C-alpha cells in the first residue's frame, strides 16, 4: 500500500436526543450506543474525527493520516484552505431536529474561532409524510423573525417541504432550517460544528436539562430573504447534486462497472449509500458495503467501481 492507495474510514458516532437506530440496523454502524443520531464519515474536526481502519495507517485519526502522508494527498484545490475543508455525515432523524441556522465564514471566524457552515442534504430514505423546513416563504424583517420566535409561530414563516428518497437540498449559511422526523440524510458540509438553535420544542436531555438556544446570534446571521424551491432530483449514472466554492457532490450509480476520473486537483470521498461493490485502482481492490466510507488521495488516473450500488462522491 502506497500513500496514494485508498483507505477505509471508520466514523465518529454521535448520540443525540433525536437520533434513532437505522444507522446501526440499515447502515452497518457497529456500536454499543443505544441510538445513533449522526455518523461522521469523513471528519478531521476535533469534536469527532473519523479514523483509518486497516492497512499500515490503521487507527490513525484522519488529521494524523494527512499529517503523516503530506498535504499533497488532499490535492491542489485544497491549498486555499488552512484546514481540512469538509465534513460528511449520515443523519438519522428519528425525531424532529431543532430549528437552527449556521453562520457565514466571516461571522463564525470572528465570534466562534472556526469557519461557517454551508451544507447540502441528500435524502437517503424517509417515512411517508416526512417533511423538513428550510428558508423563508417571503422576505421578512429581523423584527418579524424575533416576534415569531417569541410567539412560537416561526413555522408560519418557513417553507415546509415534503421529502422523498433522492431529493437534494442546498443550505447556504444563514438559511434557517429544521430536519423533520423520519428522515435519513447524507450531509456534506463545511468543516464546522457551529450551530445556533432558534427553537427546540422545549425538550430536555437525558439529564433533564433543556438544550441552550442562541436566539440573539441567530438573529444576527439569518438570511431574511425569500428562499426559492429546491431543484428536482437529477437522473443518470453520474450526476452533480451540488457544487459551490466549498465542495462538489456527485451521485454515482454503478450497475456492473463504472469508470471515474481522478486528478491531483482533489481527493475523492466515497460513501456507499446503497448496495455493495468493489473499488479498483492502481491494481488494488477495496470491497465495500452500504454505509462504508472510502478516502482516495489526489492523483492523476482513473478508478473503477463494480457492483450494484449507489455512491456519494465528494471532491473539492
Active-site positions read 197
The C-alpha atoms of residue 277 and residue 309 are separated, in whole angstroms, by 6
Contacts of 225 (CB under 8 A, 6+ apart): 136, 139
Find how far residue 15's CA is from the centre of its chain. Answer: 16
Q: Which cell is 155 given?
A: 413555522
Share in percent of the chain as helix, strand, coil (round to 5) = 15, 45, 45
> Closest Cα to residue 78, out of 315, 270, 313?
315
Cell of 166: 433522492
CA angle at 241 for the pair 9 and 66, rounded to the nearest 5°? 30
Decide: helix, strand or coil at residue 142.
helix
Q: Which residue's entry shows cell 470491497?
A: 287
String of b and e for 176-207 (b: at least 16 CB within 10 Å)? bbbbbbbbbbbbbbbbbbbebbbbbeeeeeee
Q: Where are the alpha helices (DSSP H) in the chain?
A: 22-25, 62-69, 105-111, 142-151, 215-221
Q: Which contacts qualify for 154-158: CB closer than 8 Å, 24 or more apart?
A: 154/99, 154/198, 154/199, 158/99, 158/133, 158/134
Distance from chain centroid for Cα 224? 24
> 174 CB contacts (<8 Å, ≥6 apart)?
101, 102, 103, 104, 221, 222, 223
Distance CA 137, CA 34 (A): 38
Amino acid at each position: 500500500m502506497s500513500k496514494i492507495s485508498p483507505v477505509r474510514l471508520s466514523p465518529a458516532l454521535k448520540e443525540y436526543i433525536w437520533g434513532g437506530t437505522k444507522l446501526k440496523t440499515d447502515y452497518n454502524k457497529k456500536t454499543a450506543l443505544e441510538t445513533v443520531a449522526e455518523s461522521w464519515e469523513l471528519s478531521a474536526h476535533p469534536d469527532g474525527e473519523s479514523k483509518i481502519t486497516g492497512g499500515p495507517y490503521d487507527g490513525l485519526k484522519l488529521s494524523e493520516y494527512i499529517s503523516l502522508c503530506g498535504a499533497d494527498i488532499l490535492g491542489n484545490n485544497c491549498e486555499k484552505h488552512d484546514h481540512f475543508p469538509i465534513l460528511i455525515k449520515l443523519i438519522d432523524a428519528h425525531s424532529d431536529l431543532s430549528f437552527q441556522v449556521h453562520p457565514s465564514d466571516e461571522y463564525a471566524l470572528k465570534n466562534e474561532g472556526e469557519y461557517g457552515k454551508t451544507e447540502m442534504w441528500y435524502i437517503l430514505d424517509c417515512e411517508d409524510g416526512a417533511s423538513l423546513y428550510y428558508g423563508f416563504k417571503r422576505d421578512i424583517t429581523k423584527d418579524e423573525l424575533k416576534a415569531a420566535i417569541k410567539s412560537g409561530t416561526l413555522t408560519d414563516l418557513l417553507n415546509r417541504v415534503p421529502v422523498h428518497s433522492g431529493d437534494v437540498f442546498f443550505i447556504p449559511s444563514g438559511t434557517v432550517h429544521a430536519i423533520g422526523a423520519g428522515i435519513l440524510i447524507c450531509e456534506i458540509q463545511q468543516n464546522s460544528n457551529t450551530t445556533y438553535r432558534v427553537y427546540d420544542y422545549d425538550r430536555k436531555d437525558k439529564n433533564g436539562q433543556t438544550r441552550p438556544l442562541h436566539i440573539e446570534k441567530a438573529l444576527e446571521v439569518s438570511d431574511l430573504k425569500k428562499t426559492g424551491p429546491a431543484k428536482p432530483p437529477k437522473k443518470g449514472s453520474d450526476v452533480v447534486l451540488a457544487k459551490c466554492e466549498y465542495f462538489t457532490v456527485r451521485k454515482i450509480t454503478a450497475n456492473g462497472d463504472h469508470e471515474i476520473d481522478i486528478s491531483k486537483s482533489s481527493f475523492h470521498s466515497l460513501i456507499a449509500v446503497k448496495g455493495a461493490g468493489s473499488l479498483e485502482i492502481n491494481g488494488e481492490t477495496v470491497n465495500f458495503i452500504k454505509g462504508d466510507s472510502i478516502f482516495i488521495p489526489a492523483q492523476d488516473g482513473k478508478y473503477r467501481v463494480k457492483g450494484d450500488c449507489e455512491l456519494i462522491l465528494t471532491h473539492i
